[in-house]
Amino acid sequence: MPNSTPATIALRKLGIAFKLHTYVYDSNAESIGLQAAEALGVEPNRVLKTLMAEVDGKPVCAVVPADCEVSMKKLASVMDGKSAKMMRPADAERLTGYHVGGISPFGQKKRVPTAIDESALTHVTVFVNGGQRGLQIEIDPNDAALAAGAKMQAVTASHE
């Protein structure tokens, strides 16, 4: 089966419907999520980037639209913690089993608390990393939350 990754295997095991989309990954892109959106011809707010962070020193996963920034304050609050910071790329790779640029919220080596920004619910389908660079999973946002065991809450910085 082409494009079989821990993420696609996890979704199949759960019986969740999804579509795979491949694109040419540009390792020099300033924003991986925005580059994926452009390559796939979809709105950036439908492409969700998977970010690994730490809340009070414990690993968490935040899934937010490619054109947004995660609010560390909101993320800490959603995860019942005091402070949050981005995880070092090497730590994120070791924890998830994926390479940066290909980190998926599904099928990670170690399941961690996950939050998906609630704005994802405004779309019929969203695109989430499929577990390798250049692979996106198109999925219903409710199914994405179910598969990742995620809370659907506001975790992005406001755009005022």
Give the tens place of pLDDT for each residue, 22-59: 999 988 888 889 999 999 999 999 999 999 999 999 99
* Strand duo 135-139 + 114-117: pairing: unpaired
User: Going by C-beta distance under 8 Å and a sequence separation of 6 or more, which residues neighbour residue 64?
Assistant: 48, 49, 51, 70, 116, 117, 155, 156
- Among 45, 39, 109, 112, smallest CA distance to 79 is for 112
Give the tens place of pLDDT for each residue, 81-130: 999 999 999 999 999 999 999 999 999 999 999 999 999 999 999 999 99
pLDDT band at 14 (very low <50, low <70, confident <90, very high): very high
Q: Is the dihedral of CA 50, 153, 56, 6 positive or negative?
A: negative
Residue 160, classed as helix, strand or coil, is coil
- Domains and their CATH numbers in the chain: 6-153 (3.90.960.10)
Interatomic CA distance for residues 122 and 131, integer angstroms: 24
* Assigned token pair, 120: 């994802």
What is the pTM for the complete model shown? 0.94
* Assigned token pair, 23: 């694109």
